[in-house]
Amino acid sequence: MHALTLASFLFFTGLVALITWRITRRDDHKSTNGLFLAGRSLTFPLIAGSLLMTNLSTEQMVGLNGSAFSDGLSVMAWEVVAVIALVLLALFFLPRFLRSGIATVPQLLEIRFDKATQRITNVIFLLAYAVILLPIILYSGAMGLQGMLDLHGLTGIESPTLLLWLTVWLVGLIGSVYALFGGLRTVAVSDTLNGIGLLVGGFVIVYFGLQAISDGSGIMAGWDTLKQTHPDKLDSIGGSDQQVPFFTLFTGVFLINVFYWTTNQQIIQRTFAAKNLAEGQKGVLLTGFFKLLGPSTWYCPASSPTTSMPIRASRPTKPTVTWCSTCCRPTSPASSPP
């Protein structure tokens, strides 16, 4: 089973790389505008695909499933509130960004204030990426790959620390090759292809999860079983003892989402590369639509083990994931920080 999972992972990754190369092989990767902003040529499907996959790195995929397992549907707050931030980006922030002709968010601060403000902001963002975000992404990506592919058994490496470091370096190198040698358009195309796999694989996992807890009676029977067995998991109003209490939706969760979707360079860079304002706005709003589909792909897979394996689900277990979950996001650990 692990050999089949590894083979499907390598096949899908290679297929995405091949298609991406054929689409982008004649692109301008030498100029700054071509490498960093894709020649300002991205259309809305590529913008939406790249925004979604830049957001969904491994700490999101692993972390949201874990949060849904413990707290239920209330963790959908992050996905739902993100849609509000995306609407604000499309209607208010993006027109001003594109009108100014900037390539980075700190450039706007230089225009509004001075060079010193831009430099301070650059240092803060770089330190945050290097010290906080990237280590978490690389670590969670390495742990996810180890669990899904059973790298311990496949490689024969007995030291968990050594295997972790090797996996982290491998993930980092693959991500660097994508970003440095291909440019933004290459990343956007590969993200979009991976996004298609994510949607297909995500809903396939939901289907099999509901089938498993229904004993083969169908997904609707599985959904009924889930509602009857754990009705508390369907409560979308987070309690004060949960990770996302309801009142935080209007304070911390909202502010974090607005900051993330409107000033995070890894996100905004995709919209700066839009062919025009209309394409950028459509791409941002399409991303919001896909974000609304997120709770179903995070919640159902996380809640199904609670119903079908109540004893094992009460303690941490080694994840066993079908091939579709491995294929749907092979480059997520190396993607830009969410």
Per-residue pLDDT tens digits for 288-317: 998 888 777 766 655 555 555 443 444 433
| CA separation for the pair 287, 88 (Å, rounded) | 13
pLDDT tens for 1-18 read 567 777 888 888 889 889
SS3 content of the chain, % helix, strand, coil (to 5): 80, 0, 20
In a domain, 237, yes or no: yes
Calculate the CA 102 to chain-centre distance: 25
208-265 pLDDT tens trace: 878 877 777 788 887 788 777 777 777 777 677 777 888 888 888 899 999 999 988 8
156 located within any domain: yes
Q: Would you state the pLDDT for residue 159?
A: 87
pTM: 0.79
- Domain carrying residue 9: 2-330
Query: What are 100's two structure tokens?
Result: 């100014």
Average pLDDT along the chain: 79
In degrees to the nearest 10, what's the CA dihedral of 80, 85, 91, 94?
Answer: -140
What letter does residue 276 receive in the DSSP assignment? Answer: S
Average pLDDT rounded to a whole number, residues 139-164: 83
**Cβ(281)–Cβ(90) below 8 Å:** yes
Rg, Å, the chain Cα set: 21
The half-sphere exposure of 116 on its side-chain side, counting CA atoms within 13 A, is 0
Asked if the structure places residue 21 within a domain, the reply is yes
Assigned domain for 107 exists? yes
Which DSSP string corresponds to 27-83?
S--SSHHHHHHGGG-B-HHHHHHHHHHHH--HHHHHHHHHHHHHHGGGGGHHHHHHH
Q: For residues 332 and 53, is the Cβ–Cβ distance under 8 A? A: yes
Does 331 have pLDDT greater than 70?
A: no
Residue 335 counted as domain residue: no
**CATH at residue 222:** 1.20.1730.10
What kind and span of H or E run contains 129? none
Domain annotation covers residue 338 = no
Rounded to an integer, what distance in angstroms lies between the CA atom of residue 195 and that of residue 56? 10
Find all residues with CB under 8 Å of 226, minimum gap 6, and list them.
Answer: 210, 213, 233, 234, 300, 303, 304, 307
- For the cut 90, the answer to whether the pLDDT of residue 130 exceeds it is no
**Amino acid letter at 209?**
G
pLDDT of residue 285: 95
What is the end-to-end Cα distance of the chain in Å, rounded? 31
How many domains does the structure of the chain reveal?
1
| Residue labelled with tokens 């919001």 | 288
Q: What integer is the mean pLDDT of 67-85?
A: 81
301-319: string of b/e by CB count within 10 Å (b at 16+)?
bbbbbbbbeeeebeeeeee
Residue whose C-alpha is closest to residue 299's, from 225, 205, 228, 221: 205
Question: Per-residue pLDDT for 173 more than 50?
Answer: yes
Q: Is the dihedral of CA 265, 26, 195, 169 positive or negative?
A: negative
Give domain status of residue 337, yes or no.
no
Distance, in Å, from the CA atom of 10 to the CA atom of 80, rounded to the nearest integer, reads 33
